[in-house]
Structure 1
Amino acid sequence: MSDLNLLFRNRIGIPQDEVITFQNLDKVLEKTAKAIPFENLCIIENRTKEITKENLRSKLFEQNEGGLCYELNAILYLFLYENGFNPTLIRGVIYNPMKQQWSETGNTHVANLITHNGQVYLVDTGFGGFLPLKPVQLSGESVVSSNGEFRVDRVDSEHGDYMLYMKLNRKDEDWKIGYAFNSKEEIQNITELNEVQRIIIEHPESAFNKKPLITKLTDKGNITLTDTSFTEWVDSALNKEIINEKRFNEIRKEYFYL
């Protein structure tokens, strides 16, 4: 077993001898979502590094940090490959339902596609609090997880040929667009993700280069920390605490181990 495979398993709590199959991939995705936070502290603290296998390994498994979509799905891609899958990294464009517009940063969302029994599935562990937590077939068939209901439809647009739709638990009554992606444009090497990182760092409309954001799923919901608030969803109850810098630093250590 490779070093990265072992370290990934240790981080999310999967035994070394457990065989990873399509049937238990939802378990991997759920454990990953609860163990590794979606966060942008490296960008805010001006300490980003080049996206390489070695740097991802160091950040996520030696320093026990989290990351954004291009880091979290890249490390998942490497883990899936180590465990006998044949994953493909693709890029997508996030949709903002509140503003009813596509992200001005363009196709900077990164996710994985895998094939099982001739069917293609979207596998995403880098979508913050909007994670499907299960492979989603590119057929329009919906899946239900502890985080909500998700489906991928064939929709040709300027942003690609498919769209992810979601109905989040506790939040959505109707289907909302998550993002569009092009299934035919594959990322050939993870070093290509440096372009994505550069855009996220530099673009004036980037959502991740202005204020800190840390979020992860929990057994009963999710937790989200910004520089001004700490939000907890516990079952169907929402608790929100207004915080200062001192409290921010306390919470990032106590709840996110960062």
Structure 2
Amino acid sequence: MSEPRLTNRALYLQRLGFDTPPAPTLETLRQLQLRHTGAFPFENLTTLSGEPVLIDLGSIEQKVLHQGRGGYCYELNYLYLTLLQELGFEVRGISGRVVMGQPEGAWTARTHRLSLVTLDGVRYITDVGFGGMVPTAPLLLDSPAEQPTPHEPYRIEQHADGYTLRAKVGDEWRAMYIFDLQRQEDIDYCVGNWYVSTHPQSPFVRQLMVARTGEGWRRTLNNGSFAIHRIGHESERRQMADLQDLLGVLEGEFGIRVPTQATLMHTLEQLIKLQ
């Protein structure tokens, strides 16, 4: 059975600033990852609406390219993987366990999707779906060194069970996620997506999480708390006053066309109150 293909690759590339398909080089990969995290926001509005999160390629493409939405890792990184494949990159999907904010040594569920790219025999991880701390450049897999990106530095530690991705936040190297190179099939991502989007203990069904990057900044929205994090400066934060304020930030700061769905509106109103 043939692999699903993008139905509007030209539009996708245009959104990323390319008029013609670029060559599958490291510089192209760098530009794609940086621009992707700025053009397509990380967001979980669908899980808060109570509707299923569809992760087939056609549904993701429709949502992200035509409905003015973003998505989370199972959506954004699948769309991105398909683009990389069609541009001629040697790339495959892998998965990991998010440990950001957890005690050191925590071992969580396998609920994160990312990609492994091999260029001239050199392996990189590339990820456009990790929320407020998404790396904005591909990272060398087989190097323990600190690696600069347009935002924070990152490093990858190898251990017996795979790898840990860490980001330097202030003066602290914080663990982001644990991952390995185990082969993944569609069913593996379906199981992870099902847990993330439906399990009562999943943060994705209990809180609003939105993120987007830009030149020298990251924007995040967690429930009613909006922040702009500028590299080398103190973060700017403010609380949402009401639902209209929140909807204005989602549209104006993140470029999201919010669905006018009653359940979603009610949920967002409740989340604003959780200060």
Fold match (TM-score > 0.5) = yes
Matches within 5 A, 1:203-242: 203-235=199-231, 236-242=233-239
Matches within 5 A, 1:54-133: 54-97=58-101, 99-100=103-104, 102=106, 104=108, 106-133=109-136
Greater percentage in strand: 1
User: Alpha-carbon deviations, 1:146-173, whole Å to 9, x = none?
Assistant: 211112222113xxx1111211xxx331
Is the 2:155–2:166 Cα contact (8 Å) retained in structure 1?
yes
Instruction: Specify whether residues 212 and 60 from structure 1 end up closer, same or farther in structure 2 by C-alpha distance, changes over 3 A only.
Output: same
Report the TM-score, using the length of structure 2 for normalisation: 0.84
Tell me, in whole angstroms, the C-alpha distance in 1 between the residues paired with 2:192 and 2:236.
34
Matches within 5 A, 1:177-256: 177-183=175-181, 185-189=182-186, 192-235=188-231, 236-243=233-240, 244-256=242-254
Shift of 1:237: 3.3
Shift of 1:37: 0.5
Q: Give the secondary-structure state (helix, strand or coil) at the position aligned to 2:254.
A: coil
Is the 2:21–2:87 Cα contact (8 Å) retained in structure 1?
no
Q: Give the secondary-structure state (helix, strand or coil) at the position aligned to 1:249.
A: helix
Is the 1:134–1:143 Cα contact (8 Å) retained in structure 2?
no
Identity of aligned residues (%): 23
Tell me, in whole angstroms, the C-alpha distance in 2 between the residues paired with 1:73 and 1:17.
19
Instruction: Give unpaired runs (5+ residues) of structure 2.
Output: 257-275
User: Alpha-carbon deviations, 1:165-213, whole Å to 9, x = none?
Assistant: 211xxx3312221111121x12233x54221111002223312111211
Instruction: Specify whether residues 204 and 103 from structure 1 end up closer, same or farther in structure 2 by C-alpha distance, changes over 3 A only.
Output: farther
Shift of 1:112: 0.2
Q: Give the secondary-structure state (helix, strand or coil) at the position aligned to 2:166.
A: strand
Q: Give the secondary-structure state (helix, strand or coil) at the position aligned to 1:162.
A: strand
Q: Does 1:51 align with 2:55?
A: yes
Instruction: Give unpaired runs (5+ residues) of structure 1.
Output: none
Moved over 6 A (4+): none
Calculate the aligned-residue CA RMSD, in Å. Answer: 2.0
